[in-house]
Structure 1
Amino acid sequence: MKDVAARAGVGLKTVSRVVNEEAGVTPDTVARVQAAIDALGFRRNDSARLLRTKRTASIGLVLEDLADPFYAALSRAVEDVARTHGALLFTGSSAEDPRREQELVLAFCARRVDGLVVVPASDDHRYLSPEIDAGVATVFVDRPAGKLDVDVVLTDNAGGTRDGIAHLIAHGHRRIGFIGDLPGIHTAGERLRGYQEAMAAAGLPIRPDWCSMGPTTPERVRGALAAMLAGPEPVTALFAGNNRVTVTAVRVLSARPKPIALVGFDDFELADLLDPAVTVVAQDAPGMGRSAAQLLFRRLDGITSEEPHRVELPARLIPRGSGEIPPS
């Protein structure tokens, strides 16, 4: 830095401000310092910075599957907020495996990340208590932490599902099926609750063969939907508990001669271009990622005395055609 300062004709503090993108330096001075940095091949020593600030300017994000469009949008929003704070984002996918989640979380902590944003796979996160006590800021998103009281950002899953079921009821449906994810997953359980509450509020029965929870593999979803459509009282409408279920349902229903109404939780790419376009209950994935990251940096900026925050964002019904098909 001394060489850079000498070449640019400024003091060491000015070089430090330029390198750390601090305010109070004129554009002309910034240009001269940057030119000196480029000419000398100067690179910031992050190890020295860590010793001085006790911060690594990095955070870790653990989610279910980065290939899922929902989590990709959430991740991008976290990264955007991290970038405005001059922090680097490390990301890993747990594949809904609690052991993999713990391995990733502890690996990030071993690399001295300043904070964590976690989409949980586990139902017990007490293993994180020593890391949090050591100063690692932690925010959970999409699902709450298990047995740990920390900041969390959620979607109103039950409320969004109630709106979707009410929409089908308003279009004349009384036999409405529900296919969801594994019941132990928080979001799946909340969406099932929303379905049950909406049906009960309308005074409608729920037959056991109208509701199926389990893995969202295409084989399982096809079998569940086939059973609902083949029974003595087949469903006339389906609520799909997430975008993977919806995609499989679209493939099955497109091959049937009689149309079946469909509403899916989570939007997905090209949903508006299908025929009919798919009615969905959409989450605000960027909003969730942004809110979680902002909470995290609020803690990193020293706001540690507040009680844990619980932020719940609304879901939004987007009618497009498939949910407006009347019973046949």
Structure 2
Amino acid sequence: MAEFARRPETNRYGTRPTMKDVAARAGVGLKTVSRVVNGEAGVTPDTERKVQEAIEALGFRRNDSARVLRKGRTSSVGLVLEDLADPFYGPLSRAVEEVARAHGALLINGSSAEDPDREQELVLALCARRVDGLIVIPAGDDHRYLEPEIKAGIATVFVDRPAGRIDADAVLSDSFGGSRAGVAHLIAHGHRRIGFIGDQPRIHTAQERLRGYHSAMEDAGLPVDERWVSLGSTEPERVTAAVEQMLSGPEPVTALFAGNNRVTVTAVRVLAGREAPAGPVALVGFDDIELADLLGITVIAQDAAALGRTAAERLFRRLDGAAEEPSRVKLTTRLLARGSGELPPPPGVR
């Protein structure tokens, strides 16, 4: 038979139990109960046990509405992601939630679907619900709409991409350095015709990864044919067309650099199903993907959990009163060589 949570007792006035009722039952002062309920120091283990037993016996629940009115804090924070279905955001979201929980806060998240209007709508909806702070993976490039909310005290940290047209804390991966390292890795294995397939050109990370690609090619003294670069939607149809175009013609590319995990997945599918008379095509992807280690896919790996954790810790420092100037933290990436990026070009092809 299913067990049901016991309904709270009522006090002698017929209302839900209060901290005064808990204090009376435990034989302690009201301030002691408040300390236990709010996780404050200064209570002996034996006294804390008595209070917890009284709380359990009475079915007492803290009145967060009254606490909000008293302290001006809701103990909740909002997280706005690009796409909840993207596996990159799983460890990031989990890390934010763990930090929030450690601070006694509830995390509320939602997805902008890479739509700037949807991002603004979601962010302002969270502000209207009086979250204490926000962590935002931005879809748009103009965040001046947030200025009144930040001035009103809502702490805000941007992740993965910086805010647009306002000064705000940001925690980023080194997209430029990671991309440059990945392309340099392909060059070191003999490739000279390297294709780059990235995300929408308006997105900061896409711009930075393209910049890293150009930097690596320039450092090696290699020209870049405009046909080797394709930015746009990461939908499979668009990426498939870009891969096939780069691999066709009299001088196809011998290697590909994929600008994010979704591009990498599609590129792997295209390369796996394609007959390659001239030999296999080398591939390096930005972002690790599931089963990449088993499939032998070389990637530039970000630490998504570190991004989320660093952003959340920064947010709670702000909420605790840190009055520092907005800062930008950049986390390093790692090249994980697994085989696909180490394939040499076909003999005689330069």
Aligned to 2:111: 93
Q: Following the alignment from structure 1 to structure 2, what is the Cα–Cα distance between the partners of residues 17 and 206?
A: 65
Report whether the alignment pairs 1:265 with 2:283. Answer: no
Quick one: distance in 1 between partners of 2:102 and 2:344?
48
Aligned-partner residue type, residue 193 of structure 2:
R
Give unmatched runs, 5+ long, in structure 1: none
Matches within 5 A, 1:191-210: 191-210=209-228
Q: Which residue of 2 aligns with 1:3?
A: 21
* TM-score (normalizing by structure 2): 0.92
Segments ≥4 residues shifted beyond 4 Å: none
303, 306, 309: which one aligns with 1:290: 309
Partner AA of 1:187 in structure 2: T
TM superposition shift of 1:9: 1.2
**What is the aligned partner in structure 2 of residue 301 from structure 1?**
320
Alignment of 1:304-323 (within 5 A): 304=323, 306-323=324-341
- Residue 28 (structure 1) aligned with residue 51 (structure 2): no
Name the counterpart of 1:227: 245
1:280 corresponding residue in structure 2: 299
Alignment of structure 1 residues 120-269 onto 2, 5 Å? 120-257=138-275, 258-269=279-290
Give the greater-gyration-radius structure (CA): 2
Equivalent residue for 1:15, pick from 18, 21, 33: 33
Deviations 1:80-123 (A, max 9, x none): 11111111110010000111101111111011101111110111
TM-score when normalising by structure 1: 0.98
Aligned Cα root-mean-square deviation (Å): 0.8
SS of residue paired to 2:247: helix
Q: CA deviation at 1:24?
A: 2.0
Structure 1 position 28, deviation (Å): 2.1
Unaligned runs of 5+ in 2: 1-18
1:11 CA displacement: 1.0
Name the structure 2 match of 1:52.
70
Determine what percentage of the aligned residue pairs are the same residue.
75
Could you tell me how far 1:14 is from its partner in structure 2? 1.1
Residue identity matched to 1:298: R
Count of equivalent residues? 325
Distance, in Å, in 1 between the alignment partners of 2:301 and 2:27 is: 55
CA distance in 2, matches of 1:262, 1:176: 9
Residue in 1 aligned with 2:12? none
Give the distance between the partners of 1:184 and 1:174, measured in 2 at CA: 27
Distance 1:206 1:24 in 2: 66
Secondary structure of the 1:173 match is coil
Q: Distance in 2 between matches of 1:100 and 1:7?
A: 50
Q: Deviations over 1:250-298 (max 9, x none)?
A: 1111123431110000001111111xx1000011111111111111111
- Matches of 1:31 and 1:93, distance apart in 2: 42
- The CA distance in 2 between the partners of 1:232 and 1:211, in whole Å, is 17
Alpha-carbon distance between aligned partners in 2 of 1:298 and 1:317, rounded to the nearest angstrom: 32
**1:238 & 1:26 partners in 2: Cα distance?**
63
Match in the other structure for 1:105? 123
Task: Give yes or no for the alignment of 1:325 onto 2:343.
Answer: yes
Once residues 120 and 262 of structure 1 are traced to their aligned partners in structure 2, the CA distance between those partners, rounded to angstroms, is 28
Residue identity opposite 1:323 in structure 2 = G
How far is 1:32 from its partner?
Answer: 1.5
Q: Residue deviations 1:177-220, cap 9 Å, x none?
A: 11000100000010000001100110111111111100001000
Report the secondary structure of 1:69's partner residue. coil
